[in-house]
Amino acid sequence: MQKLSSQDAGFLKIESAHCPFHVAGLMILKLPANAPGNFLRQLANKCGRLNELWPEFSRKLHDPVDLSAAAWVPADDYRPEHHVLHYSLPAPGRMEDLLSLVTRAHERPLNRSRPLWEIHIIEGLSGDKFALYCKVHHALVDGVGAMKMLQTLLRSSPDERIDYGDSHPPIERHDSGHSLLHGLGDLGRGLQKQYKALPELSRLLAHMGVDALQGKQDVMRLPFTAPRSIFNTELDSTRAIMVCDLPLGTVRKIARQAGGSINDVLLAVCGGALRQYLLSQDALPKASLVAGMPVSLKSAGEGAGNKLSYIIAPFFTDERDDWRRLKRVIKVTRGAKQELGKVSTTAAEDYYALLMAPTVLLTITGNATLVRPAINAIFSNVPGSREKLYLEGAELQVLYPLSIVTDAMGLNITVVSHANKLCFAMISCPTGLPGIANLDKLFKESFRALRDAARDV
């Protein structure tokens, strides 16, 4: 038996029927021109052998019910058909039908009596395309690790194939604050680690507190100062998945023109879309919604390794002007990076976990909605491949990352770059959010409005 870390066991303990803790990815690929008629059946058979590549896929919980001493054991009853599902969309293979099917699959918790992963192969998309929906429990692999698993399957050449003779080491865990939800898994260790950085954190928080007392708006925010919104309520088990693509080249051009980053442009686009949605529901708070997002603080010239932290930044949903919204976003993120860049790597990486301790406790006890939100939504921009990628010769068209929402944090926006595209995936609970399925259209409208505003500057 291999004992689970307290963090990984925590993900299982916090999970409920209405808040599953799996991460997932939706890939859309184009069949090779010379694909045989049984191409997808062969792919399904190969996916059923993924446990040969990764030891994580060949283990299950020793006792799915009693997690007091949670441990992994070999899954000697492993059956591929329990983990690889293959089906077809009805003609004409619309994207709406695919998202409906994937949404239902994303709502369902993984079966704890089996290895905690699934791959769904979905054929029948128009244009000779098919989809792969892959999900894995956060206790088994975190979001970054799951993305690396997918990238391991993909190749830069259409002639390369999955090689089961390759040796794949266990996927590395990422415990340095990549995910807001990491704090939920191991509160005790996080607080102990924070103790050494307390003097630096105290100075940082004091500065942020002074900004808040002075009523400054274009600054990094403290947690639990976000306005209440319709996104920050108790969830049920239903989910809504919205996806869209933006052109990477145009976004990069806007960023250069404004003197900011690609991440700044995307955050401003999010702000415009959320503003329009909340206005349509007569539910726009006077104060701006705020995002919790991971950022890299590593500057040119620094050595190997990452310097990561979290920024709580406004979406500026209270700003009508699209160009001004972007400039305000740039001001906040630039100032936040400078502020966090002054402290040690340990303090910069871990201050957010310390600040989120109340959220952890409230989530565990089921009282997360009783206080003002720590943040209104999670926003994350994950770098992807600049090159075309292939799976068994099938070209990857888009890759959408599907993450986790919880009570009081019912909107998750994640972006992955692939080739010349930025692939947006938005996850929410639609109960109490009429028209949320149109959020993808609002994102495209917000992008076009910002693009037009940039042309007029």
CA distance 28 to 133: 9
**pLDDT for residue 74 is more than 50:** yes
The mean pLDDT of the chain is 85
Residue 323 domain-assigned (yes or no): yes
Residue 309 domain-assigned (yes or no): yes
The answer to whether the pTM exceeds 0.85 is: yes
**pLDDT for residue 301 is more than 50:** no
Burial of 91 (0-12, 13-18, 19+ CB in 10 A): exposed
Q: Which long-range contacts (CB under 8 A, 24 or more apart) does 196-203 make?
A: 196/346, 197/343, 197/344, 197/346, 197/347, 197/350, 197/351, 200/343, 200/344, 200/347, 201/343, 201/347, 201/351, 201/354, 203/343
Q: Decide which of 108, 135, 153 is a domain's last residue.
A: 153
Residue 299 domain-assigned (yes or no): yes
**Of 22, 106, 138, 418, which one is the catalytic site residue?**
138
Length of the chain measured in residues: 457
Same domain assignment for residues 357 and 419: yes
- Supply the range of the domain harboring residue 428: 182-384+406-456
Predicted confidence at residue 203, as pLDDT, reads 61
Sheet of strand 421-428: strand arrangement? 240-247, 421-428, 411-418, 377-382, 290-296, 308-314
Residue 148 domain-assigned (yes or no): yes
Predicted confidence at residue 360, as pLDDT, reads 64
**pLDDT for residue 376 is more than 50:** yes
The per-residue pLDDT for range 378-430, each reduced to its tens digit, is 999 888 888 999 999 999 999 999 989 988 889 999 999 999 999 999 999 99
Banded model confidence at residue 304, pLDDT cuts 50, 70, 90: very low
11 vs 177 pLDDT, higher one: 11
Same domain assignment for residues 131 and 228: no
Structural domains of the chain, count? 2
CA distance 415 to 266: 9
**pLDDT for residue 248 is more than 90:** yes
Q: Is the peptide bond before 92 cis (omega within 30 degrees of 0)?
A: yes
Same domain assignment for residues 274 and 380: yes
CA torsion angle 297 334 387 164 (round to 10): 30
Same domain assignment for residues 235 and 101: no
CATH number for 59? 3.30.559.10
412 vs 206 pLDDT, higher one: 412
DSSP state of 383: -
Same domain assignment for residues 63 and 127: yes
**pLDDT for residue 224 is more than 60:** yes
Same domain assignment for residues 187 and 107: no
Q: Are strands 390-391 and 394-402 parallel, antiparallel or unpaired?
A: antiparallel
297 vs 328 pLDDT, higher one: 328
DSSP state of 110: P
281 and 450 Cβ atoms separated by less than 8 Å: no
Which two tokens mark 130?
Answer: 């098919």
Same domain assignment for residues 116 and 232: no
CA torsion angle 282 287 293 295 (round to 10): 140
Q: What angle do CA 316, 320, 321 make, to 5 degrees?
A: 95
Residue 161 domain-assigned (yes or no): no
CA distance 404 to 427: 7
CATH number for 326? 3.30.559.30
Which two tokens mark 167?
Answer: 């040796």
Q: Round the CA-based radius of gyration of the chain to a whole number and report it.
A: 22
Predicted confidence at residue 179, as pLDDT, reads 46
Residue 391 domain-assigned (yes or no): no
85 and 142 Cβ atoms separated by less than 8 Å: no
Phi, psi of 441 (to 5 degrees): -65, -40
C-alpha of 194 from chain center: 25
- Based on the residue annotation, tell me whether 86 is a catalytic residue of this protein: no
Which two tokens mark 156?
Answer: 């830069």
328 and 318 Cβ atoms separated by less than 8 Å: no
Rounded alpha-carbon distances, angstroms, from residue 345 to 198, 304, 306, 340: 13, 13, 9, 9
Other Cβ atoms less than 10 A from the Cβ of 249: the count is 10
**pLDDT for residue 222 is more than 90:** no
Q: Decide which of 111, 138, 153 is a domain's last residue.
A: 153
Same domain assignment for residues 126 and 187: no
Residue 61 domain-assigned (yes or no): yes
Predicted confidence at residue 352, as pLDDT, reads 59
CA distance 53 to 61: 19
The per-residue pLDDT for range 18-65, each reduced to its tens digit, is 999 999 999 999 999 999 999 999 999 999 999 998 888 999 999 999
**pLDDT for residue 299 is more than 80:** no
357 vs 79 pLDDT, higher one: 79
445 vs 361 pLDDT, higher one: 445
Predicted confidence at residue 354, as pLDDT, reads 61
The per-residue pLDDT for range 121-147, each reduced to its tens digit, is 999 999 999 999 999 999 988 766 777
Taking residues 292-304, report their average pLDDT. Answer: 58
Same domain assignment for residues 110 and 236: no
Taking residues 270-277, report their average pLDDT. Answer: 98
Other Cβ atoms less than 10 A from the Cβ of 23: the count is 25
Predicted confidence at residue 302, as pLDDT, reads 45
Taking residues 81-99, report their average pLDDT. Answer: 96
Q: Decide which of 153, 172, 190 is a domain's last residue.
A: 153
Residue 372 domain-assigned (yes or no): yes
361 vs 429 pLDDT, higher one: 429
CA distance 376 to 453: 26
Taking residues 361-389, report their average pLDDT. Answer: 83
Which two tokens mark 397?
Answer: 């068209």
Same domain assignment for residues 445 and 339: yes
Same domain assignment for residues 203 and 119: no
Same domain assignment for residues 143 and 194: no
